[in-house]
Structure 1
Amino acid sequence: MRNEKFLWRGASLATQYAFASSAVLVVAAILVGTVVSRRIEENVVRNSANSTAMFMESVLAPIAQQFADQETLSPGARRALEEIFENTPIGERVISYKFWKPGGRIVEASDPAIVGEVFPVTDDLQFAWQGHVAADFEALGDAEDAGEQALGLPLLEVYSPIREYYSGEIIAVVEFYEVHEQLAADLARARRDAWLVVFGAFGGLGVILYLIVLRGSRVIDRQQRRLLNQYAELEALSANNQDLRRRVRDAAGRSAERADRVMRQIGADLHDGPAQQLAFAALRLDALQEAQTVAARQGEIDRINSAIADAMTEIRTISRGLSLPDVADKTPAGIVEMAVEEHRSRTGNAVAMELACDGPVDMPFAARLCLFRFVQEGLNNASRHAEAAGMGVSLACDADRLTLAVTDAGPGFDPAYTPLGLGLSGLRDRIESLGGAFHAGRGSGPGSDLRLSFDLGEWK
């Protein structure tokens, strides 16, 4: 190893460059060749799929219009479909087909055995439901591809959306498998040509650069002896400058981080605290207008006054740089109970509690405040969006993990289609910044399920 290092250091710059650049150019050529060949393959497959999909859509779309208002084809439409794939040149190229409805259900197929079955929704099928043509070549790895895979043929798998003529809405997705031996040959030739071009270009570039470096190396060798005399002075000056830059960079980074953390904390506290109180007060104004008796109106007025007073108290506290609520000395169970009782007193809503976390837990103040804000935001959302139906809070912990959940029996929501609001987004950021996990969506039963969990071992 020592001899190898000596030989490397004693070699000329041109020789060192030849070895280093060869390795770099080979790796770069492999990466570029992989990307280029993959892009060429994707483009060839996409173009072939688009042309085939346009032709198939013109043939199948009139028949598939029945899927706009029914789940199956009429006997006449089915016979027409069989005639197309059995007695026309299309049947020689397209060996099978499937018509999909939402949820991964097959409603019509060349193989009657799979009609009515439900398969996992693949990325290509989901892409087709979004209105695009999706295709794969010789990639029959999905669950519904077992029959086609057994044929051992080069198949182009195409997903094409079927639209209703009048509304333009996608009513079904047709998947068909086209035997495409020519495409396999074209792809093999395109890959070969791409690799030849890439390696030829990088090889020629390497030779040209080596000749340039060889000439420069000879000039550098002559100048190197003079530079060695100045190296000692420059080394000391460079070390001082490097240390100064490092200290300035670290100080600026810490300052920016503190400022950003303070701003995020203030924004989160304003939204999770006073904004929730004021939102509740605005909500109760509608109830005040609907109150029929003086006693009911007075009760709503008292709740509104209480919420506004609480909001003003928290705003004044935040402006003085204090953190509310007072959770520093409370156990997780005490924090959750305090948040639930505060919601009950403001709204009068019933909230079921299940606290399976006895005793103190070693966790930072930010995590304790996060527990309170999580319960507060979850119950307020349930009050607004689920009409306070079946609200419940559960807390569980052991030596390693703490889990907190807020549930309701309302209509629920799917985060894949309903973006999180400011409150839930802030909760997610707050929880994940502390190393926790956040879940929002439907639970095992009806309604919504908000859930957080902390790994207590990270704070020990």
Structure 2
Amino acid sequence: MTVGAGLSDWQWERLSLARQFALAGGTVMLVAVLAVGLWVSGRIEEVTVRNTANATALYMESFVAPLMQELSTRESLSPETRLEVARLLDETALGKRVVSFKLWRAGGYLADASNQSLVGKHFDETRNLKLAWEGEVQADLEETSDEEDIAERALGIPLLEIYSPIRNTRTGEVIAVAEFYEDASALKSDLLKARLASWGAVAAVMAAIGISLFAIVLRGSFTIDRQIAELKSLSARNVALRIRAQGAAGRVAAMNDSTLKQIGADLHDGPAQLLGFAALRLDSLRAQAPAGKAQADLDQVERAVRDAMGEIRSIARGLSLPDIAERSLPDLLQALTQSHADRTGTEVGFASRLRNAPKLSAAVKTCVFRVAQEGLTNAWRHGGGTGQEVELEIVGERLSLWVRDRGPGFPPDNAAPDEGGMGLQGVKDRVESLGGHIDRRNRDSGGAELRMTLDLGGLE
């Protein structure tokens, strides 16, 4: 973050749009006020100093330059000319504001000065002095840091230092440079007032812009906050409805499983027992029946009865569920793979990875169990039972289950038959009722894969 020092990103995001604008916009506008105020006040000072310098230089050029024309033929001023220049500086209104005077010749030679101790010495030419020799009037406010400005610094008052070129009236050639130090106390006071006025104007304009924009943003922020509150309320209601719907679907699935378990028990205890009794009675009838065709018919009936008993017991086993509520999901899947391996005579690999797994409801465990059961049934019936694997992973609130085999894979139309199992469409509906997703695909290395994913967050 570059705006709102002292606020973390999290704290910044929690602020309303209006407060973010107030902090960010206020900082930007403060910087803008400082930058524009400095620029405007700088331009005012620059223009004021330049205009004052030009006015002073024009005055000096009108009255002093004619007295210094002798410098076109002499190296320095005559004593009479010096007295006349001193008289002008002492007796005129503008001259009375000039507290010091220097007259420069080429090469930094000081031909005349208020401080006579400096006359006849050479000094390094400053930038302003060089520009004055090129014919430009130059000025500095409170800049008395040069070597020859010792006496001026000692005065302790603000000074306007002006460099005015002295030209030959006939040829226009610059023959000398006059340097004046004017008392700038009044000028400094005027500049201060101008700065304050410019800063006040800039601040007022920026404040008006900021308040107008803030009012617009504040209105938009209120609208956005109200809409966000409404969306949060609607989202909370939707989540509550989704949880209730998933809970209801889970309870319906549990009821269906209970019903299927009861049907399985009824088949085992009812028709299966009756068929068993019929098989025993056939054994007693076999001794009473004559040899020949009657015995052959009895053999066919006995085979049909025993096949029917096997089918009923197989159906009963498929419909029955283990003790879902008391056992963990890995234990249930381990028992399922072992039971499938024992029943089919095939090998089934099982692996589980659990990290920060929450407690699972009976509806979730039943759903995962049925998906694994259906996947293994299809792997045995349509994949030949080769390379069967069941893999479970729970990381936080995300559950994933894979059932794989090394068989021929799903047919091109992806419509594998569901004989003997709960049906892929059935387990798909069960998974989706809990907000999960199930898909099947052919593996690149050969075989089929059934994958289930389920978000456990918010499930009852």
TM-score normalised by L of structure 2:
0.46
Q: TM-score, normalised by structure 1?
A: 0.46
